[in-house]
A and B are shown apart, each in its own frame.
Chain A
């Protein structure tokens, strides 16, 4: 099954909308609650990343009986060095964003922790593509 959602950069009030929707769908599909938690936490972090850094983005969610595959594509500044960005505590977030409780530098590491496979491709000045794969029959 396929679902897609749009994300608007800078709109923190709507951040988490896609995660909530995906969570609801996975519950209806009787996916194990602890697996849902991992998927949704990873997606939420990724969603917030797009809101915080990019201009706009889209999320594509593919649900199969054996895995959930999520792709987040954004138009934004891109990540110059993915290895550094993957370090815990590394953050480029502005003061404004930090005041809202985001930007602690835990986003990408947290996604990695919760995903079975994480793939990030980024082009500076164009955008970032994050792919999160979670297997359901572990």
Chain B
């Protein structure tokens, strides 16, 4: 409840309840929950077999999950063994994005800074908490959608039926899943289904560990450019932007910076790369490996890619072959703010409610203990005004009411039970004292 950066969680009957309009899908609750009660929904893996052509759209951080001794080739070939017909790294899409992003920033030089839409949790955070900054979000598709566009077009061009093509994205976090299922700025995504990264990691690692084969099929693949390999890491985008750019990771760091950005108009920052997770996608909630080791592995791989390029080793195919097709489809629709901060649509009513909130706060202890089921005293005051909670949920108010004989002990216990469930009262043990 307290881990939520937008105060979207309340506790009722011992369970977490979500205010969906406040949730930005950052996954902080998933990370914090001590009993793993929060799950990230994914598609059934067998769904892939409904399609004759099964493409795994894999982010580069997936490879970074594995220990260094397991090669990229082994991981790729294991994905094919598991049933995919093609494996494609989504960051190839960044190659096109790089060009488009450069153009976009030049065209929008009057509305600085341009904010990257790469992290969907950040896009949603800006929508709900920083509505004035919505117009700064860059309206271009992320690498995963570009990768999907490319694969679909290429397979159709190769003579496949569009309905036979299944594009499955291996997601490192909850935010990307929601972004693909219910996109903010585009009507439909080309991606067919989603597989959680930790699920696939376990499947691949088990297969590799149990494999007794001496040889494996080495899939042919396009070599991924060094810039693209580290795209999803912190500073992966910002180093490529022209002008002054900043990269910030960690949702609380991002909030702190955006608060500042909102009140200072004269900023000469051209590009902002903002990521919800610490160490960006390497720290995604669905990753299994240690994020610092993942970053190290990706940087090592990028160095090797750079050396290969210096030696002139290049793959024949490139996503740039489809530059024209993709750049025609790369823009997304306007993103709308959906402010969660407002107390009421009507300003006069909002003012009345605010007055009530201020009055109520005086009754509360201001220690933000969370026993009432709201994350802070001010959140409880707002919940009460919005009719979602009662003042008696506050433990301190209860005691005061009991003292004044306005509340019985039983009523107090009942209120606590309504919030935290009766399991939290271990009466037997206490009665034996």
Contacts and interface: CB of A to CB of B under 8 A. Distances in A.
Nearest to A26: B341
Given A1-B351, A25-B354, A65-B351, A33 B263 contact: no
Given A33-B131, A33-B132, A40 B347 contact: no
B350 interface: yes
Contacts of B355: 1
B64 to A, nearest CB: 38
B263 A16 contact: yes
Interface in B251-271: 259-260, 262-266
A40 B341 contact: no
Contacts of A28: 341-343, 350, 354
A24 B351 contact: no
A16 B260 CA distance: 8
Contacts of A114: 265
Nearest to A34: B132
Nearest to B259: A20
Contacts of B339: 27, 30, 33
B317 interface: no
A31 B343 CA distance: 11
Given A30-B339, A30-B342, A63 B351 contact: yes
Nearest to A43: B263
**Secondary structure dominating the interface of A:** helix
B107 interface: no
Contacts of B259: 20
Query: Which of A27, A36, A104 counts the most B-chain CB atoms under 10 A from its CB?
Result: A27
Query: Contact size class for B?
Result: 20 to 34
A86 interface: no
Contacts of A63: 351
A36 B134 CA distance: 14
Given A27-B341, A33-B339, A34-B132, A40 B263 contact: yes
Contacts, number: 65
Contacts of B260: 16
A89 to B, nearest CB: 13
Contact of B354 (A23, A29, A40, A104): A29
B359 interface: no
B348 interface: yes
B265 A41 contact: yes
A110 B348 CA distance: 30
Nearest to A107: B266
Interface string B348-362: 101100110000000
A1 B262 CA distance: 23
Contacts of B337: 33
Nearest to A48: B264
A47 to B, nearest CB: 9
A79 interface: no
Interface string A104-136: 101000100010000000000000000000001
B262 A40 contact: yes
B344 to A, nearest CB: 7
B348 A65 contact: yes
A44 B344 contact: no
Contacts of B342: 27-30
B343 A23 contact: no
A24 B341 contact: yes
B266 A106 contact: yes
Contact of B264 (A24, A29, A44): A44
A63 B351 CA distance: 9
Query: Which of A1, A24, A33, A41 counts the most B-chain CB atoms under 10 A from its CB?
Result: A33
A19 interface: yes
A81 to B, nearest CB: 24
Contacts of A98: none
Nearest to B133: A33
A25 B351 CA distance: 9
15 contacts: A1-B354, A16-B260, A20-B259, A27-B131, A27-B339, A27-B341, A28-B350, A29-B343, A29-B350, A30-B342, A33-B339, A37-B262, A65-B351, A114-B265, A136-B347
Interface of A: 1, 16, 19-20, 23-25, 27-31, 33-34, 36-37, 40-41, 43-44, 63, 65, 104, 106, 110, 114, 136
Given A20-B259, A30-B339, A36-B132, 7 more contacts: A24-B341, A28-B341, A28-B342, A29-B354, A30-B342, A37-B132, A106-B266
